[in-house]
Amino acid sequence: MGEVANFEYGYTISASDRGEFRFIRITDIDEYGNISEKDKKYVDLLDEADKKKYLLKENDVVMARIGSVGETAIFQSQEKFIFASYLIRINLNQREILPKYYWYFTKY
């Protein structure tokens, strides 16, 4: 994987019921690899650099690094999401492998 992707750990912060960004945690990944709409949590980030670094973009793939290790989800929303520290964003070289293909591959 190191030849076709880079990996980034998510952001460490306490979540709340309100905030500027939806905060995606391991528990937000459902059994099908989608991001659940249940029990949403949010965060506020003050640092612009952190916003750029941890904001999910369309077709970003995140993977659990503890607990349900390897459980993956693909981000496909217009809502602003920040990913939590127990997730890893997999930045795929899209000339080598498309994010949706990789995500499907992890499901079977």
30-83: pLDDT as tens digits: 888 888 889 999 999 878 999 999 999 988 999 998 777 778 999 988 889 999
Residue type present at position 44: D
Structure tokens at 15: 């979540």
The average pLDDT across 1-15 equals 90
Please determine, looking at this structure, whether the domain spanning 5-107 carries the CATH number 3.40.50.720: no
Which is higher by pLDDT, 96 or 108?
96
To the nearest whole percent, how much of the chain has pLDDT over 70? Answer: 99
Q: Mean pLDDT score of the chain, rounded to an integer?
A: 90
Other residues' Cβ atoms within 10 Å of the Cβ of residue 64: 19
Give me the residue spans of the domains in the chain: 5-107
